[in-house]
Amino acid sequence: MDSIGIGLIGWGTVGCGVVRVLQENESIISNRLGMPLVIRRVADLDIETPRPVAVPREILTTDAEAVLRDPKIDIVVELIGGLEPARSFILEALESGKHVVTANKALLAQSGNELFEAARRFERTVAFEAAVAGGIPLIKSLREGLAGNRIDTIFGILNGTSNYILTRMTLAALPFSDALREAQQHGFAEADPTLDIEGIDTAHKLAIACAMGFGSRIQLDKVYTEGISRIDPLDVRFAEEFGYHLKLLAIGRQEQGRLEMRVHPTLIPSTHVLASVRGAYNAVHIRGNAAGSIMLYGLGAGMMPTGSAVVSDLIDLARDMFCRAPHRVPPLGFLPERLEWVPVKPMEDIVTRYYFRFSAMDRPGVLSKISGILGNNAISIAAVIQKGREVEGAVPIVMLTHEARERDVKRSLAEIDRLDVVKEPTRLIRIEDHESAEI
């Protein structure tokens, strides 16, 4: 074997990044690997639009089957995204005896269990470093670097678009719509940003990371997901008065044999290292029982960071091929037969702290009514801010609670929102601050 043949399906932003990394770092890769990685075919529906990197015209094709059938291709790189036909292409590649590299977190979150089983059946590998956190080596850290640890917590920012929007809402006091528009103008948000701003993209990544960290099969349907589209700059400012920053967090924990998997806007102390992560950057805190707390930080998307992650997978697969050792490391880091359907704690059973903002009429006794209902539901108040100024005809009352159960919180707020002195539904943001002491 004097080279490894690579076939790309998808020649968009990430595909161009892969090509550029392979071209610019060709000698470095050959020195590390002992042989070149050679792009044999590039398939895309559009091969006419100019790209920022060039490949020989004769290797371009609009037919994905030309990649899947080519006997000179050892590894297929799937970069088209979406569920179909990406799933079918990967299954066909595996059946044809080819390894696969993918950056498709949505597909892995939905169908990863099936794809990994197919790879095992055909004695091939599906590699996916680029699927979670872009250029940050999160997958390799969970699968190999921390293999000797029991992972207790995965906690972080996994979506650069949402982090950029919240950064602009914090630093420039922009309303959500203006911050989103700015993100789109700078290329940080898609024309349809739903997957990013509603937390869906983050949920895909968290489902994969939790499976790897906690030895579970992937359970996307059990990830509680809430986005940032309803965040008001008023809440960002009140949070700062209490000493908190607002982030869209992915939170995964394993306690007493059950998992927590949730994505939602979260207040974290302004002293927490994650509070300083700005713009389109990602950062993940992992706590292992042996390694302690570690932090991974970097660009979670983009042509070159994601291309770098894809190429790292190509190098790993090439080494395994050279040693004839497929499945040297299982896809999720655990032996497939040892993976379990680990029970997931329902959201209503989650215990955490809370931020509430009530829009109440300025009348005597309102605060005592609200606090009475909270007390009757075992919710203890930690701090209160009551502003004299009116906002849209009501006075904001802002509270932070001690730890409470989600079920009790939702029951309390439903009762409070029925009061005739409360003008709007209560704003709720969860608080995570017990992790701050770990970093």
The CATH number assigned to the domain holding 246 equals 3.30.360.10
Q: Are residues 180 and 148 in the same domain?
A: yes
199 annotated as ligand-binding: no
Q: Are residues 200 and 55 in the same domain?
A: no
Q: What does each C-alpha distance from 149 to 146, 253, 259, 349 come to in angstroms?
A: 5, 14, 17, 27
Give the DSSP letter of residue 143.
I
Q: Are residues 219 and 279 in the same domain?
A: yes
Catalytic-role residue among 72, 98, 140, 205: 205
Examine the pLDDT at 361 and tell me if it is beyond 50: yes
Over range 84-106, report the average pLDDT: 98
Q: What does each C-alpha distance from 84 to 6, 88, 106, 112, 160 come to in angstroms?
A: 21, 7, 11, 13, 25
11 annotated as ligand-binding: yes
The pLDDT assigned to 389 comes to: 63
Q: Are residues 209 and 281 in the same domain?
A: yes
Strand-pair category, 244-255 with 258-269: antiparallel
Mean of the per-residue pLDDT values for the chain? 94
Instruction: Kindly report, residue by residue over 382-421, the tens digit of the pLDDT.
Output: 999 887 666 666 899 999 999 999 999 999 999 999 999 9
Over range 314-321, report the average pLDDT: 95
Task: Assign 1 a pLDDT band (cuts: 50, 70, 90).
Answer: confident
Give me the domain span that covers residue 262. 138-299
In DSSP terms, 128 is beta-bridged to none
DSSP string, 279-305: TTEEEEEEEETTTEEEEEEEE-SSHHH
Over range 304-329, report the average pLDDT: 92
Q: Are residues 59 and 154 in the same domain?
A: no
The pLDDT assigned to 76 comes to: 98
34 annotated as ligand-binding: no
Indicate whether 386 belongs to any domain.
yes
Q: Are residues 244 and 390 in the same domain?
A: no
Instruction: Kindly report, residue by residue over 139-165, the tens digit of the pLDDT.
Output: 999 999 999 999 999 999 999 999 999
Number of domains in the chain: 3
Q: Is-catalytic flag, 205?
A: yes
What amino acid occupies position 398? V
User: Which CATH number is 354's domain given?
Assistant: 3.30.70.260
Task: For residue 330, say if its preceding peptide bond is cis, omega within 30 degrees of 0.
Answer: no
266 annotated as ligand-binding: no
The pLDDT assigned to 436 comes to: 45
What amino acid occupies position 72? K
Q: Are residues 162 and 188 in the same domain?
A: yes
Indicate whether 343 belongs to any domain.
no
Q: What does each C-alpha distance from 22 to 98, 162, 385 come to in angstroms?
A: 20, 30, 56
Could you tell me how many helices (H) and strands (E) the chain has, helices first?
14, 17
Where do runs of H (alpha helix) occur along 364-405? 366-376
